Amino acid sequence: MIVTLMLVLFFLMLVLGVPVAFAMGLSAILALLVQGEVPGILLPQRFFSTLDNFSLLAVPLFVLAGELMNAGGVTERLVAMSRALMGHLRGGIAQANVLTNMFMAAISGSALADLSAIGSMMIPAMRRDGYPPQLAVAVTACASMMAPIIPPSIIAVVYGSITGTSIGGLFLGGVGPGVLAGVGMIILVWYLSKRAGVPRRDRAPVREMASATFLALPAMLMPLIIVGGIIGGIFTPTEAGAVAVFYGLLFGLVLRRHSAASVYRNLSAATQVTAAALINLGGAALFAWVLARAGVAGAVLDGLFSISTDPTAILMILIVFLLLLGIFIEPMPALILSLPVLQPIAVQMGYDPVHFGIVVLMTLIVGAVSPPVGILGMVAAKIGGVTYASTFSSLYPFVALWIAVILLISFVPGLVTFLPNSLLP
């Protein structure tokens, strides 16, 4: 009864335009108050106990590090290097777009931040080079999906904090699938650009390639420092976030790109992003708590076992469920909403926690470009000056590619687990 009431209230609020975080939190609170079995004092305690987690300190730190690196000029350097190395290939600017996003993913951990920074430069450049605007938007939006997968990933920190899965393991586990998706998109944009008749550019001089690569090296060092420090046991993921902030601040100061005003803007932007993420986390935690109290996980597990007891078949069912969930709810609240159901299933079926976590994260991220809620697709379309609906046909090949990668890593777990098993104690 309480779950039905909560779901009705939740979807009613969504229809009325209430933000997802508030819709989840308020529907849970109202349902509990109507039921009357839970003292009201427990509600704020549950909300804040979810946020009272040392590992979550990494979230504002990685967000701030990304802001500082962007303000320090890292995006321009990575774009210049990618264009110098790949601009002469068929679809070279689009491939450079993907490559830049791959490097930026290893710095910021936020898809929306990467999309905003890179899209403002690459979408106009692609349009000037003869790319259809819808293709330019689709490439940029889908390439930014690597940010939550390639370390450091903010959503991986949240997943690890809630489930107890090794955050370092999730970071390393995301490397293979993230790079695999990036290489797949580079091949796909080559084919799509050829079909669209996009002209080729002249090859950049060797001196320009060398210069652009040299200038981008300091930016590429940051992910190596972060991941290397975690692997070597020098610092925890949270401490790695602090190191990343220091490096980002130092990077901008050396290049004279930081000032008191710019650092204040970076701090303000990081605060707003972090606050939004934590409000989502707290609201979804209340919603998830009600589901857990009502025994939804057990009911779902019994339902799955009535269909099949094969771990592979159940994983395929979960992937379909997560794809549908991600279409309607943004990745972060969708993750927190589904974990009370997913976690007991993962334990019962004996899935490797890092492998299962990466499959879950990659599947939910697909919804970030898919209609009707695809926030990355909407933002990219706004930057490109086209309607979101007009980009659907250009988005679908990239969505199909991501689903193919998800299925591949589902059937070949070693693509995820090789690095964590090899490098972590």
Instruction: Answer yes or no: is pLDDT of 51 > 80.
Output: no
Predicted structure pTM score: 0.85
pLDDT, tens only, 142-167: 999 998 899 888 889 889 888 889 98
- C-alpha–C-alpha distance, residues 60 and 412, integer Å: 33
pLDDT, tens only, 223-272: 888 878 877 778 888 888 888 888 888 888 888 888 888 889 988 988 88
The alpha helices in 109-255, defined as continuous H runs, are 111-128, 133-143, 154-163, 167-173, 175-196, 206-231, 237-254
Q: Label each residue of 85-98 as H, E or C.
A: HHCCCCCHHHHHHH
- C-alpha–C-alpha distance, residues 193 and 25, integer Å: 45
Instruction: Answer yes or no: is pLDDT of 361 > 90.
Output: yes
Sign of CA dihedral 67, 73, 77, 82: positive
Name every residue whose Cβ is closer than 8 Å to that of residue 214 and which is 6 or more positions away in sequence.
none
Considering the chain, what percentage of its residues have pLDDT values greater than 90?
A: 20
Q: Are 395 and 389 in contact (CB under 8 A)?
A: no
Q: Does an H or E element contain 78, and which? A: helix 74-86
Q: Residue 367: which of 405, 319, 330 has the closest Cα?
A: 330
Average pLDDT along the chain: 85
Q: Are 36 and 82 in contact (CB under 8 A)?
A: no
Q: Give residue 81's pLDDT.
A: 86
Q: Where are the domains of the chain?
A: 2-423
pLDDT, tens only, 173-213: 999 999 999 999 999 998 988 887 777 777 888 888 898 88
More confident residue, 147 or 45: 147
Mean pLDDT computed over 397-418: 95
- C-alpha–C-alpha distance, residues 78 and 277, integer Å: 27
Amino acid 123 reads I
- C-alpha–C-alpha distance, residues 404 and 407, integer Å: 5
Q: Give residue 400's pLDDT.
A: 94
Name every residue whose Cβ is closer than 8 Å to that of residue 347 and which is 6 or more positions away in sequence.
none
